[in-house]
Structure 1
């Protein structure tokens, strides 16, 4: 790393970090610091580092990203729990087994065949949930299996084993009127927007759960965004694709959900405090994470 232009002030300390974090994990944070050239309209990233690159700054960026993942996970956990409640309330109004009944779900989900499995999307979803319940060692699951051997758990018990991905799939498989009911509970303008927000948050959750780099990674799912007439509080990133598809967009979604789940939450202030810890650098900036200028002044964060 030193031979490629990185400044390392303390070799022993740097070696200790590399032994604990790993070179290849840390190299993901040093990638933006590498020199690049444009050839034929295409950016080619080289091996050597830009002038002024320091090992300590790379470590600071790594630590910042670690704190960021924990904070984003905190928000997603609250959203996940609240979403679980809304889905069970909405479907449970029809039947304790509404999640199992094709008539209570959208036909594209409950009756259409998935070419990859030869089963309906719903039956494949149910198979995975039933397997999870059968394997579960949770006390509530063991109690139900002892007391009601051979029976299927009702919606409100089965829901306790859904992860975020399972819930987002089920939400997409609900009837549009029921999707709208859930979206409205969180103040989301439409079920179409809600669907993409949940898929986007699920991708982010998986990134965080696997301790992967988050701060400047583009979202694999393009969230839909409301127009300024639908949602004034998000108007500042309307049409800003870079902000919408980077970390800032995810943070906006989290803040928006939390404003209805827990309006007095300190999460927004904690995010602002953490962002202020972003490493002082002449090479990388929060623009790579999609943060617009003066974002702190927007009403969403106040």
Structure 2
């Protein structure tokens, strides 16, 4: 929109001048622009631009821009549900197996004999006064046991972020313990397991912060493994990340896996006959839409 704010009527005029068809009518376009915002929606008409002046490919319709936005939003909602299930399950496995192994040390996560010094030294950055006051079980624990530095793992880890818990897993010294946890997901290689967790975290953060999902590529290549077949061996695209998420979900619950997988298929299927968006689904997301 440049450095000067313009009215929604001017926004529509500008889009028309650049070659966009207002096929839903100006009033519907105005409603959508006031709902989503010109700047945010711009990320979704970017794939239709053909030059540095931001002119649009011939046949670019406002409806397709909106449909791409809704596709992205729907996928975020679906994947967020799946990742939430995975996050809770992973926390449970880590808490259970580590706490059983170190059953005489309820705060094993802060023991340098068990976890890397770097993680232990940084843990007070997570376990702040705000952390204690914001989470009732932690607050109640310290009210009852004022001399405890930390609450036990089964309380503390429940309130850590997914990223913090993944870092804790990576920081464990005991390889056998790490393998025990990865084996709960039928993954033998710790490196593959950690790579998959970081892939899920990457998508989780996009969904949580309303970033662009359809055009996302993992910063690190997803590791090859016989348990997942990636389309065209593209191990950065969103479809490959979705396959990792679905794999984890299947290890946790077949019914949940099937439900989420069907929701994803139905979301893409609705746009199968739209040539503009189909191209984005195939080329950018990497999804084999002919399979739905």
TM-score, normalized by the shorter chain, greater than 0.5: yes
> What does 1:30-69 align with in structure 2 at a 5 Å threshold?
30-36=45-51, 46-69=53-76
Residue 131 (str. 1) matches residue 125 (str. 2)? no
2-structure distance, mates of 1:156, 1:192:
25
Q: Quick one: structure 1 residues 32 and 134, their matched pair in 2 at CA, closer, same or farther if it must change by over 3 Å?
A: closer
> Aligned with 2:137: secondary structure?
helix
Residue 173 (str. 1) matches residue 167 (str. 2)? no
1-structure distance, mates of 2:246, 2:291:
13
| Partner residue, 1:235 | 229
> What does 1:73-112 align with in structure 2 at a 5 Å threshold?
73-92=80-99, 93-94=101-102, 95-105=105-115, 110-111=116-117
| Partner residue, 2:202 | 203
Structure 2 residue ranges without an equivalent (≥5): 1-14
CA positional deviation for 1:254 = 1.1
| Partner residue, 1:253 | 244
Q: Quick one: structure 1 residues 80 and 8, their matched pair in 2 at CA, closer, same or farther if it must change by over 3 Å?
A: same
| Partner residue, 1:272 | 265
The structure whose RCO (Cα within 8 Å, separation 6+) is larger is 1
More deviation in 62-71 or 134-143? 134-143
| Of 151, 154, 161, the match for 2:152 | 154
| Partner residue, 1:39 | none
| Partner residue, 1:262 | 253
CA positional deviation for 1:129 = 2.5
Question: Given that residues 179 and 190 in structure 2 are in contact (C-alpha distance below 8 angstroms), is that contact kept between their aligned partners in structure 1?
Answer: yes
Q: Quick one: structure 1 residues 4 and 200, their matched pair in 2 at CA, closer, same or farther if it must change by over 3 Å?
A: same
1-structure distance, mates of 2:18, 2:289:
33
> Aligned with 2:54: secondary structure?
strand
2-structure distance, mates of 1:279, 1:12:
27
TM superposition score normalised by structure 2: 0.85
Question: Given that residues 218 and 245 in structure 1 are in contact (C-alpha distance below 8 angstroms), is that contact kept between their aligned partners in structure 2?
Answer: yes
Residue 5 (str. 1) matches residue 1 (str. 2)? no
TM superposition score normalised by structure 1: 0.82
| Partner residue, 1:292 | 288
| Partner residue, 2:30 | 15
TM-align CA RMSD: 1.9
> Aligned with 2:58: secondary structure?
coil
Structure 1 residue ranges without an equivalent (≥5): 37-44, 112-119, 297-302
> Aligned with 2:55: secondary structure?
strand
| Of 259, 279, 282, the match for 2:275 | 282
Q: Deviations over 1:224-269 (max 9, x none)?
A: 121x3xx2xx2354x712xx21111111111111111111221111
2-structure distance, mates of 1:136, 1:192:
36
More helix by share: 2
Question: Given that residues 132 and 139 in structure 2 are in contact (C-alpha distance below 8 angstroms), is that contact kept between their aligned partners in structure 1?
Answer: no
Q: Quick one: structure 1 residues 71 and 293, their matched pair in 2 at CA, closer, same or farther if it must change by over 3 Å?
A: closer
2-structure distance, mates of 1:26, 1:144:
46
Question: Given that residues 196 and 223 in structure 1 are in contact (C-alpha distance below 8 angstroms), is that contact kept between their aligned partners in structure 2?
Answer: yes
Q: Quick one: structure 1 residues 134 and 258, their matched pair in 2 at CA, closer, same or farther if it must change by over 3 Å?
A: closer
More strand by share: 1
1-structure distance, mates of 2:269, 2:169:
36
Question: Given that residues 61 and 279 in structure 1 are in contact (C-alpha distance below 8 angstroms), is that contact kept between their aligned partners in structure 2?
Answer: no
